[in-house]
Amino acid sequence: MNKALFLILIFFFFNNCTSTKKLGFWKNNEKNQNNKKNIKQILITDKKKLTEFNPQLKLNLNIINIENKTFDNKNNIGSQNYTGLLDKVGSYNYSKLDDIDQLNFKPAFLNDELIFFDKKGSITKYDNSQKIIWKNNHYSKVEIKLKPKLYFAIDNENLLVVDSISKYYSVNINTGNLNWMKSNTYPFNSEIRKHKDKIFVVDYKNTLRCYNIKDGTECWNLQTDNSFTISNSKNSLIIINKSVIFNNSLGDITAVDIKTGLISWQLPTQNSNIINETYNFKISKLVSDGKSIFFSNNKNEFYSVDFQTGITNWVNKINSNITPIIINNLIFTISNEGYLFTIEKNTGNIIRINDVYKNYKIKKRKKITPVGFVVAKNKMYLTSNNGIMTIIDLNVGNIINNKKISSQYISEPFIYNEHLYVIKKGSIIKFN
């Protein structure tokens, strides 16, 4: 009897194993192993204290293309045209925003004018002398109490707006009057990208939405995996040729056909455990040179991904959620610990590491984190959460100057028309 029972249990065991295989368990595991073979990991070492590497190595960045843009559908702004005098020439004042250190704000630049918003969601257009041209608010009293945060895109004479309370609308740039306004089911949590007569944006449910610029009607939407918590990081999206590529709060990178909304490829970069940690998970903006997509996160991963296939070119161990900048065949980024990395774009090899915060005492240094940077010619302008802007000579990696901008948090810097701008609570500062 015991022998018969034993044989029955053996039968059920092997039968369940066979069923599991039919359900695809082994197939998925085999697929994951194959995907891992496509990843070239540049540094395979145990976690250790970060130090400088080739800090005296000299680069030649005197012959590079100089751009004059703050907006690019691939986030590839390169090196900007700015002399770097950092002389303050004016301030654009507005009512103070809350939690500026948790959101990525960006003014809309047009010719000699600037558009921004305040804590009530009022949109203000300023002239070159920082005087108000018009100021309009398109929210109800109840909505104003929610303190909407706005993200902008420009389409000819229209300012396209999405916000943190699920509204999206179009405003006439010349008058500030409303063209149309609509509501989404969930608030938005990404940049806006414009392509021809459509805009693209991602909401807090990790859904990519495509809207018609003319009247705001939805063309299509694509839902990706959702997390149980609200992410503290803004999602990023770029447009390359006929594809829109975006990340969600779980670290998945998805390429979608602009016309149909169908997935071309998807690359998960995190394991399933990230679902419970999305509030702390932070990823940089996606940046592309048209062939590869580059991004990093605060999980010690810097990726290069093939644009056409979604296959990983290489992964390096760099802990950063700061947007990288591509110049020639080099990538520059700042780690969350304050180290400047210079990386070969095609191979992923780190050729130099410079300690940007080495002049700070250890106790003070622990409280300092980088916010963002721009590159002007061969200089880097880096802002930190202590209100300091650090100017670095990229040719040699040396610190030229540390300039106090504010006693509080300041935004990443922006360069437009040979001027540098920094946002702080209550004003946008303009520098010559």
| CATH code: domain of residue 365 | 2.130.10.10
* Residue 224 CB partners (closer than 8 Å, separation 6+): 206, 207, 208, 248, 250, 252, 254, 266
Give yes or no: residues 183 and 81 share one domain.
no
Shared domain check, 18 and 109: no
My answer on whether 205 and 264 are in the same domain is: yes
* Interatomic CA distance for residues 77 and 412, integer angstroms: 14
pTM of the model: 0.88
Q: Does residue 419 sit within a domain?
A: yes
Whether 277 and 414 share a structural domain: no
Residue 288 lies in a domain: no
> How far is 251 from 274, CA to CA, in rounded Å?
8
Same domain, 224 and 154: yes
Tokens of 217: 């009607």
Assess whether 98 and 125 both reside in one domain. no
Q: What is the DSSP string of 136-159?
A: E----HHHHHT---EEEEEETTEE
Q: Give the per-residue pLDDT at 38.
A: 53
What are 239's strand-pairing partners?
244
Domain count, the chain: 3
What is the b/e burial string over 322-350, where b = at least 16 CB atoms within 10 angstroms of the residue's CB? bbbbbbeebbbbbbbbbbbbbbebeebeb
**pLDDT at site 369:** 96
Q: Which of 282, 309, 343 is the last residue of a domain?
A: 282
Give the integer Cα–Cα distance in Å for 333 and 343.
8
Alpha carbon of 373 to those of 82, 85, 121, 287: distances in Å? 13, 16, 27, 14
Q: Give the range of the structural domain holding residue 128, as residue numbers without chain letter.
A: 105-233+237-282
pLDDT of residue 22: 34
287 in a domain, yes or no? no
- The pLDDT assigned to 271 comes to 82
| Residue 139 lies inside a defined structural domain of this protein | yes
State how far the Cα of 171 lies from the Cα of 136, in Å rounded to an integer.
10
The per-residue pLDDT for 69 is 81
User: What is residue 102's predicted lDDT score, i.e. its pLDDT?
Assistant: 61
* pLDDT score for 383: 97
The pLDDT value recorded for residue 272 is: 65
**Same domain? 164 vs 215:** yes
**57 located within any domain:** yes
Rounded Cα–Cα distance for residues 175 and 340 (Å): 44
Last residue of a domain, one of 253, 282, 311: 282
Q: Are residues 96 and 131 in the same domain?
A: no
| Same domain for 168 and 80 | no
Residue 420, domain member (yes or no)? yes
pLDDT at 49: 79
Give yes or no: residues 262 and 173 share one domain: yes
Same domain? 31 vs 163: no
Tokens of 202: 């991602």
10-residue mean pLDDT profile of the chain (432 residues): values are 44 42 36 47 57 96 85 94 92 87 82 94 97 98 96 96 97 98 96 96 96 98 84 88 96 97 97 67 96 97 98 98 96 98 98 97 94 95 97 96 94 95 94 95
Residue 364 is assigned to a structural domain of this protein: yes
